[in-house]
Copies of this chain bind each other. A is one copy, B any other.
């Protein structure tokens, strides 16, 4: 116990925070020493989350850098947009390592953040300092970093599905169209008409078309992979389920010669060799969201269409695990120089 790394979670009463608590409960080298919520400080976390009775009975702490430093070595920020931008500098100066699950430090240009998030951006120095923690793509930068910006849920599913093909020049990045679907937990725990049970059950909705704040994050990485500016069409839909994201992605195949599903599978398997959380599906098999439910996997499948010269790539994750808390712990593991799977070897819960 005494040797475990001490971890604090700011925003413990949100779904991202409570998922960190669940996953870290079985981490062999880390332990949660402070659960923090500015809105509920002083009350036990079990008041809002009775499923934690007997598991995490702590009183919630308030947000206070010195107090956090006294209790922890690493801080996860699972806070709404705009909060981490204010908190992170003080926490870093207090000597804490940070993994931020919000969007505040993902985009490197303040103007782009402000355009898409409609909020003031974080200090540019800190924007530059934060390493974008898409572990399977930028894992090398994560190792040894002190300040990680954890990717968004949609970008994680989308980019893991697109980057290998874009890097290899197998698809034309200018033709990329991304049709993404998410379970409702991605909207957080705040009650609203938009997340009201009777409005969403037996309903399928599109929202924020062409305006989602994850668009610049996706384009940032695609441009890096293509080594030229990429803009793309990105649509989001709400599925009547709690967890899961599927990105269905379309692009024109560049090659004149016939490229097959097998070619995509081979390319992706090589690209993700040694990365245990990406599972490239065999020929003819497309992943469904439930097949990664509760786990840190991202599963990817392909459907090349000779008629149209396009490929459809299907990528699925659990938005609260690989799309948030799980990937954050994966980044913790990489930061600390540990095996990236520590505490994350959850089998998907099926059915």
Could you tell me which A residues sit within 8 Å of B by CB distance? 15, 18, 21-22, 25-26, 49-55, 177, 179, 181, 183-185, 187, 189, 191-193, 195-207, 209-210, 231-233, 235, 237, 239-244, 246, 248, 250, 276, 279, 281, 285-295, 297, 299, 301, 303, 305, 307-308, 310, 312, 314, 316, 345-351
Contacts and interface: CB of A to CB of B under 8 A. Distances in A.
A185 to B, nearest CB: 5
Contact of A305 (B54, B233, B308, B345): B233
Nearest to A199: B351
B241 A210 contact: no
A241 B240 contact: yes
Nearest to A22: B347
Name which of A51, A192, A242, A286 has the most chain B CB atoms within 10 A of its CB. Answer: A51
Nearest to A286: B206
Nearest to A192: B191
10 contacts: A25-B345, A26-B347, A50-B285, A51-B347, A181-B204, A184-B201, A202-B241, A205-B286, A206-B314, A233-B310
A201 B248 CA distance: 20
B308 A233 contact: yes
A195 to B, nearest CB: 5
Contact of A205 (B288, B295, B310, B312): B288
Contacts of A197: 184, 195-197, 200-201, 240, 242
A245 to B, nearest CB: 9
A308 B301 CA distance: 26
A239 B239 contact: yes
Contacts of A237: 181, 246, 248
A209 B240 contact: no
B198 A55 contact: no
Contacts of A295: 51
B191 A288 contact: no
B312 A202 contact: no
B248 A279 contact: no
A349 to B, nearest CB: 5
